[in-house]
A = this chain, B = another copy of it.
Amino acid sequence: MNGIGASEGGDPGKEIASALEQDIVLGRLAPGEKLREEDLAERFSASRHHVREGLNRLERAGIVIKERNRGVSVRRFTVDEVRQIYEVREILQRQASLMIRLPADAGAIARLVEINDRYENAVEAGDFQRIHETNDLFHTELFRLCGNELLLNLVKNYMDLTYAIRGSAFGHRENLETSRRHHRIMIGLLQGTDSWALAQICVDHIQPTKTQYLAFLEGRPRNGDEGPGPD
């Protein structure tokens, strides 16, 4: 019944952080929700110490907020913060994609095609877990081609942050269709030499969810705290 299904070889704090991040991404933990250490310790059958470490990790990733002597809760973002996050993502993805030498290596393209196949299968099956997984992998492998590992990690971090803040609430039919189309266009562009077009699609790719999520947030601006509704 514990949430850590994978191999438990590594750092316990890391495992717990990943599991909690999954929970947030998949919408099982809502923004504003409080995370009590002891509960988590029991759930993961780990010591409170490790849970603490995991929560620290999540705090530094920016997806959770920690108030002294008041515990941690899933971070609730303001409209402005969301806008800033997407702004950074656009910068990072544009610049990273511009650094990809075109035409790209054939082996890399083949790998991306294979990953995208798995992505499309997951979309067909409606398996959110695997959709997120393969989508993540696709972008990781794509931006790895920029040749700068550090930049790749930055791109990944802010991509993960985006998933965390909006959950998979916007992974609806039409979005997934658009995503699928974008991925195919990207693969096509990797075979050509038009870096600018590739950069453009990499930026365009994140616009739909950005627009929808911002509209969603602005649609209900008067929420002081609606998570723990009184009665």
Shortest beta-carbon distance, A196 to chain B, in Å? 16
Which residue of B is nearest A98, CB measured? B91
Which residue of B is nearest A90, CB measured? B95
A105, CB-defined interface residue at 8 Å: no
- Interface size on A (CB < 8 Å)? 19
Copies of this chain, complex-wide, total 2
A215, CB-defined interface residue at 8 Å: no
Assess the A149–B60 pair: CB atoms within 8 A.
no
Known: A56-B56, A60-B60. A151 touches B81 (CB 8 A): no
Kindly list chain B residues whose C-beta atoms are within 8 Å of the C-beta of A84. Answer: 148-151
Assess the A150–B81 pair: CB atoms within 8 A.
yes
**4 A-B pairs with least C-beta separation:** A84-B150, A91-B95, A84-B148, A88-B150
A-B contact pairs, 8 of them (CB 8 A): A53-B56, A81-B150, A84-B150, A84-B151, A88-B151, A88-B154, A91-B95, A154-B154
